[in-house]
Chains A and B, each alone.
Chain A
Amino acid sequence: MKTVIKTTNLQKIYNNSVAPVKAVNDISLEFKEGEFTAIVGPSGSGKTTFLNLIGGLDKPTGGEIFIDGTEISTMKESELFDFRLRNIGFVFQSYNLIPVLTAKENVSFIMLLQKRPKAEMEKRATEMLEQVGLSDKLNSRPNQLSGGQQQRVAVARALASKPKFVLADEPTANLDTESAFNLLDIMEKLNKEENITLIFSTHDQRVIERAGRVITLVDGRVSEDEVGSSRFEV
């Protein structure tokens, strides 16, 4: 399988000059196309920082990040904005949707920025909202949707533009069990159907069990990398 993301000796150190905190410490990983990966670990283990780095939202202190063979850690900010728009889908823990846009407009938003044809956007957005079970909420604003529904719209938006991979930072953290399982079912289904690499951080045991690959971070380092039923101590 093709490698979509590759990091080599990735580092992120905060307060470098005063009291250095190594949030991400020498992580070298590869993510293949279509993988469904959970990044787990206790609070402060570096999960979010790692996702921010590979998502091009933050700059590493050291090491390299390759997306589809392209080194992104040396890119200028303007290049990164464009790179994110074309290649990466995001689902955050909260504040995921643009409050003034309807569900359909939110799903279309990235495609709109990508200047896709209107007909294609309309079709794809409707299709994606149908797939996440929200065909009756096309014109609802975020404040008219429940937390679980909002997360499903965010997943639909992240996948609608067919990015190279989707990063989800604790997508189920604020959801009840039923909504969390529902969201996972959708993510798993779309991951298989669309063959899009999906990486999400979580410390939710319900989610971890569903992942095809589980990477455990402790103090910014990879302590375990388990694929399928086999678990590797690193």
Chain B
Amino acid sequence: MKILLILAWRNLWRNRKRTLITVSSVLFAVLLATLFVSMEKGSYERLIDSMVRYSTGYIQIQDVLFDEEPSIDHTLLFDEEIEAILKKNDEQIAFHVPRLQNFVLVATENNTRGSILNGIDPELEIRMNDLNEDLVKGEFLKPDDNGLMLAEGLAGILNVTVGDTLVLLGQGFHGSTAAGTYPVKGIVDLKIPEINNNTIYMSLSEAQWFYGTGNRVTSLIIMPENPARTQQLAENLRMMIDPEWHRVLTWEELLEDLLNLMKFDVAGTMIMMMILYIIIAFGLFGTILTMLIERRKEFALLFSLGMKRAQVAIVCFFEALFISMAGVVLGIIISIPVVAWFYHHPIPLSGDMAEAIADYGFEPVLPFSADPNIFLNQALIVLIISFLIGLFPVYKVFRIHIMEAKK
């Protein structure tokens, strides 16, 4: 085997320029593919992170019927039983955030609008998503506050400001009527227009009183110590809760629609990647084909001397593998610092695109992901391509006719 490796390695350097050009083409393809995937994944990661932090959290415990029919009647009783379950998983849980969320009709003297009322624990909400940083007017809610905090868009639609009073009317627990008047204490800018135009915050205790739910919540958000172990924590919780009444959902289940949309988008990216892989494949194939054609006499000599076809085929296969491995390894070595640079220094956007992204509450930059799987996946894909191309000389070597090759 050693002599086969020596032959393959030395054969690569017979035409140094050609080998270096081929290695470079693989290298640049790996670098481009890695940057491309890192940029796409970076954008998705940021979007998912925002959705998880501002909306769903990593895990939610809900009433078993809430996901199918979100209603104030399908709320979860946050009692000692649930608290005991959380305590048993204390080491894996960073904190939990209770929320009571329901539709409500909000009215002023001249305006009425349907909105979503969020009963929140202000301190835990700040811990989860720094909501206080979005405050643009007035004060942030306190745990026992009896006022409201309005999204800026909704405040504009209703033409109200801090100090004004709103009338809230909705359906309370088990068909009761929920009604009350509340002063506006603060206004927050929630960036995303759909949310910014219909969101009201109230302290959890006040919301539970308003809807008459007692100690009930629509969802109990669980933030894990280690987000990478979300699945494991969710499984632990599933084993402990009563499945007849409660349900544990991970962010992947809660954001299923968004993830499906991303998968569809990834399919488009895959077409771009395929083009890149085809370029790699043809570059490598061209080199291998040339090496085969110009060495026919050499193969005839090796066969005459008694070298088996399989041994010659292994040499050719190793040559293809060495070229691509050199390209892949160098590509990864170069792409690690490049991706790391862009991960820490995302590409700033400008113009309309920057404004549109800023409107949705995101920093107007192209973020990159530094997920190690990106490098490993690219390396693996290119190696599989090279492996398949490396099979071509194997096939050809087994078909060479010694007497024809000798001519």
List residues of chain A with CB under 8 Å of any chain B CB.
52, 55, 57-58, 78, 81-82, 84-86, 88, 90, 92, 95-96, 98-101, 109-110, 112-113
CA distance A98 to B305 in the complex (A): 11
CA distance A110 to B304 in the complex (A): 11
Which chain B residue lies CB-closest to A83? B306
- Do residues A90 and B10 form an inter-chain contact, with CB atoms below 8 A? no
The answer to whether B14 has its CB under 8 Å from any CB of chain A is yes
Q: How far is the CB of A81 from chain B (nearest CB, A)?
A: 5
Smallest Cβ distance from B5 to chain A, in angstroms?
Answer: 12
**Distance from A89 Cβ to chain B, minimum over Cβ atoms (Å):** 9
- Show 23 A/B contacts (Cβ-Cβ < 8 Å), sorted by A: A52-B403, A55-B304, A57-B303, A57-B403, A57-B406, A81-B303, A81-B309, A82-B308, A84-B306, A85-B305, A86-B306, A88-B306, A92-B301, A92-B304, A95-B297, A95-B298, A100-B14, A101-B10, A109-B3, A110-B305, A110-B306, A113-B3, A113-B311
Q: Contact at B298–A90, with CB atoms within 8 Å?
A: no
Binding site secondary structure of chain B: helix
Q: Residue-by-residue, is B295-338 near A (CB-CB < 8 Å gives 1, otherwise 0)?
A: 00110011111111101000000000000000000000000000
Q: In the assembled complex, which residues on chain B have CB atoms less than 8 Å from the CB atom of A90?
A: 304-305
Q: What 17 new A-B contacts, CB under 8 Å, besides A57-B406, A92-B304?
A: A55-B304, A57-B304, A81-B306, A81-B307, A81-B308, A84-B305, A85-B305, A85-B306, A85-B307, A90-B305, A92-B301, A95-B298, A98-B298, A98-B302, A101-B7, A101-B10, A109-B3
The answer on a CB contact under 8 Å between A113 and B306 is yes
Q: Tell me the smallest distance from the CB of A55 to a CB of chain B, in Å.
A: 7
How far, in whole Å, are A55 and B302 apart by their CA atoms in the complex?
14
By a CB distance below 8 angstroms, the chain A residues around B14 are 99-100
Assembled-state Cα–Cα distance A95/B306 (Å): 16
CB neighbours of B51 from chain A (8 A):
none
Residues of A within 8 A of B304 (CB): 55, 57, 84, 90, 92
User: Complex: how many Å from CA A113 to CA B11?
Assistant: 18
CB distance from A60 to the nearest CB of B (A): 12
CB distance from B158 to the nearest CB of A (A): 83
Given contacts A95-B298, A98-B7, A99-B14, contact A113 B305 (CB under 8 A): yes
List, in ascending order, chain B residues with CB within 8 A of A112's CB.
3
Bound complex: CA of A114 vs CA of B306, how far in Å?
9
B402 close to chain A: CB less than 8 A: yes
In order of increasing CB-CB distance, the 3 nearest A-B pairs are A85-B306, A100-B10, A84-B306
Cα(A84)–Cα(B402), bound, Å: 13
What is the minimal beta-carbon distance from A73 to any residue of chain B, in angstroms?
15
- Set of chain A residues within 8 Å of B311, measured between Cβ atoms: 113
Indicate if the CB atoms of B403 and A100 lie closer than 8 Å: no
- Residues of A with C-beta under 8 A to B11: 100
Q: How far is the CA of A86 from the CA of B306 in the complex (A)?
A: 8
Expressed in whole angstroms, the Cα–Cα distance for A101 and B305 within the complex equals 14
Contacting residue for B301 out of A82, A95, A100, CB 8 A = A95
Report the minimal beta-carbon distance from A116 to chain B, rounded to whole angstroms. 12
Contacts of B308 in A (CB 8 A): 78, 81-82
Residue of A nearest to B401 (CB): A58
Which residue from chain A places its CB closest to the CB of B12 in the assembled complex? Answer: A100
- C-alpha gap A110/B302 in the complex (Å): 10
CA distance A88 to B304 in the complex (A): 9
